[in-house]
Amino acid sequence: MTVETIVSFIVILGLLIFVHEVGHFLVAKRAGIKVEKFSLGFGPRLLGFTRGETEYRISLLPLGGYVKLFGE
Protein backbone atom coordinates (compact mmCIF):
# COMPACT_ATOMS: atom_id res chain seq x y z
CA MET A 1 0.00 0.00 0.00
CA THR A 2 1.15 3.50 -0.73
CA VAL A 3 0.91 6.45 1.64
CA GLU A 4 -1.60 8.01 -0.74
CA THR A 5 -3.86 4.95 -0.46
CA ILE A 6 -3.71 4.99 3.34
CA VAL A 7 -4.45 8.73 3.54
CA SER A 8 -7.34 8.35 1.09
CA PHE A 9 -8.78 5.51 3.16
CA ILE A 10 -8.58 7.57 6.37
CA VAL A 11 -10.23 10.59 4.74
CA ILE A 12 -13.07 8.54 3.24
CA LEU A 13 -13.62 6.65 6.51
CA GLY A 14 -13.70 9.97 8.37
CA LEU A 15 -16.33 11.34 5.99
CA LEU A 16 -18.48 8.23 6.38
CA ILE A 17 -18.27 8.47 10.18
CA PHE A 18 -19.12 12.18 10.04
CA VAL A 19 -22.21 11.60 7.87
CA HIS A 20 -23.34 8.75 10.14
CA GLU A 21 -22.99 10.83 13.31
CA VAL A 22 -24.70 13.84 11.73
CA GLY A 23 -27.69 11.56 11.17
CA HIS A 24 -27.87 10.80 14.90
CA PHE A 25 -27.40 14.49 15.70
CA LEU A 26 -30.17 15.70 13.37
CA VAL A 27 -32.69 13.09 14.51
CA ALA A 28 -32.03 13.95 18.17
CA LYS A 29 -32.42 17.68 17.51
CA ARG A 30 -35.61 17.14 15.53
CA ALA A 31 -37.00 15.04 18.42
CA GLY A 32 -36.20 17.85 20.84
CA ILE A 33 -33.42 15.98 22.65
CA LYS A 34 -30.50 18.06 23.93
CA VAL A 35 -27.17 17.03 22.39
CA GLU A 36 -24.29 17.51 24.83
CA LYS A 37 -21.38 16.36 22.61
CA PHE A 38 -20.71 15.65 18.96
CA SER A 39 -17.35 13.93 18.57
CA LEU A 40 -15.29 12.53 15.74
CA GLY A 41 -13.02 10.05 17.45
CA PHE A 42 -12.80 8.78 21.02
CA GLY A 43 -10.66 9.59 24.02
CA PRO A 44 -9.11 12.91 24.99
CA ARG A 45 -10.17 16.02 23.06
CA LEU A 46 -7.66 17.39 20.56
CA LEU A 47 -9.71 20.27 19.17
CA GLY A 48 -13.14 21.58 19.92
CA PHE A 49 -15.55 24.38 20.60
CA THR A 50 -18.93 24.85 22.21
CA ARG A 51 -21.84 26.37 20.34
CA GLY A 52 -25.13 26.68 22.14
CA GLU A 53 -25.69 23.57 24.25
CA THR A 54 -23.39 21.30 22.22
CA GLU A 55 -19.64 20.70 22.46
CA TYR A 56 -18.18 19.83 19.04
CA ARG A 57 -14.86 18.02 19.19
CA ILE A 58 -12.20 16.01 17.43
CA SER A 59 -10.71 13.40 19.73
CA LEU A 60 -7.44 11.47 19.82
CA LEU A 61 -8.49 7.99 18.61
CA PRO A 62 -9.99 8.22 15.10
CA LEU A 63 -11.83 4.91 15.31
CA GLY A 64 -15.37 6.21 15.11
CA GLY A 65 -17.44 8.93 16.68
CA TYR A 66 -20.37 9.55 18.94
CA VAL A 67 -23.22 11.87 19.80
CA LYS A 68 -23.82 12.21 23.56
CA LEU A 69 -27.46 12.93 24.28
CA PHE A 70 -28.72 14.57 27.46
CA GLY A 71 -29.15 11.99 30.21
CA GLU A 72 -26.91 9.34 28.64
| Phi, then psi, of 9 in degrees rounded to 5 | -60, -45
Which are the catalytic amino acids?
A: 21
Instruction: Please report, as a single letter, which amino acid is at residue 55.
Output: E
**Residue 57 · residue 48 · CB < 8 Å:** yes
In sequence order, the β-bridge partners of residue 54 are: 51
